[in-house]
């Protein structure tokens, strides 16, 4: 579920950020059918494993050629996007019109957590800024993969890595933005993201009111349907019993 009905990913919870919605979603960014996705890329920006591999496969040859066309940074052999930075291309065969390639840090290679946190925030920030700059067509819905949330976070806690994601997208929301999805593949990521958002709501200038979690709404709906079904069965059973008694009485007469 999505407010604008643009995404096949499953919505877990929705929070307010200014005039937009921060949506915690479950699944993969690759099939997101909104305006843009943010891929967890590497510096070569030609594909990789995990999320990057899924995005590359879904984007096909047009996306690969668009990535290949990104200029190599001066003084490097094959770096198209520096750590903490992002680049934008067409989406190719992706449902989304744009694909933003953001490079989060490998905390193992960072001097300390502070350096890693700064680079991670920057990667999300650059992704949001690139999205804001697009005008034809404008980007109103965007879905982020979780940067540096897997093996690249090294010993950094998942909660702090995800907190940076939430803070960065909130701080860089713009007028005209409707939805920002943080798309989590693992259930533990989904739970922690929701927890972080709830904590951020309590801070000055934090997130707005949370809409009821979709998973909970679904469960309540299923329970309600099950309850109705049980009642219908009870009524049917009583009616069948009444009919049987009426038939028996007729037979006796």
CA 58 – CA 43 distance, rounded (Å): 20
SS (HEC) of 80-105: CCCCCCEEEEECCCCCCCEEEEECCC
Identify whether the C-beta of residue 78 lies closer than 8 Å to the C-beta of residue 97.
Answer: no
Q: What's the rounded Cα separation, in Å, for the pair 48 and 27?
A: 18
Selection from 88, 105, 108 nearest residue 97 by Cα: 88
Q: Is 242 considered catalytic here?
A: no
Q: Residue for token digits 């109705």? A: 228
How far is the C-alpha of 71 from the C-alpha of 237, rounded, in Å?
73
Q: Residue 208, Cα to own-chain centre: how many angstroms? A: 18
Q: Which entry of 18, 35, 52, 117 is annotated as an active-site residue? A: 52
Catalytic residues: 52
């Amino acid at each position: 579920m999505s407010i604008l009905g643009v995404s096949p990913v499953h919505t877990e919870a929705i929070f307010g950020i200014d005039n937009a919605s921060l949506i915690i979603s479950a699944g993969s960014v690759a099939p997101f059918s909104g305006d843009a996705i943010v891929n967890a890329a590497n510096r070569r920006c030609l594909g990789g494993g995990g999320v990057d591999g899924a995005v590359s496969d879904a984007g096909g040859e047009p996306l690969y050629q668009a990535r290949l066309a990104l200029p190599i940074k001066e003084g490097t052999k094959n770096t198209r996007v520096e750590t903490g930075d992002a680049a934008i291309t067409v989406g190719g065969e992706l449902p989304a019109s744009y694909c933003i390639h953001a490079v989060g840090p490998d905390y193992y290679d960072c001097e300390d957590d502070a350096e890693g946190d700064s680079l991670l925030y920057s990667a999300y920030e650059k992704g949001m800024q690139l999205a804001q700059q697009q005008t034809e067509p404008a980007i109103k819905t965007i879905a982020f993969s979780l940067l540096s949330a897997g093996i690249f976070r090294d010993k950094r806690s998942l909660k702090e890595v995800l907190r940076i994601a939430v803070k960065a997208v909130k701080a860089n929301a713009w007028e005209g933005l409707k939805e920002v999805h943080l798309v989590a593949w693992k259930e533990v990521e989904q739970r922690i993201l929701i927890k972080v958002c709830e904590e951020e709501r309590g801070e000055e200038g934090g997130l707005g009111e949370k809409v009821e979690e979709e998973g909970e709404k679904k469960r309540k709906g299923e329970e309600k349907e099950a309850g109705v079904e049980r009642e219908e069965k009870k009524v049917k059973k009583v009616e069948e019993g009444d009919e049987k008694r009426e038939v028996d009485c007729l037979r006796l007469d």
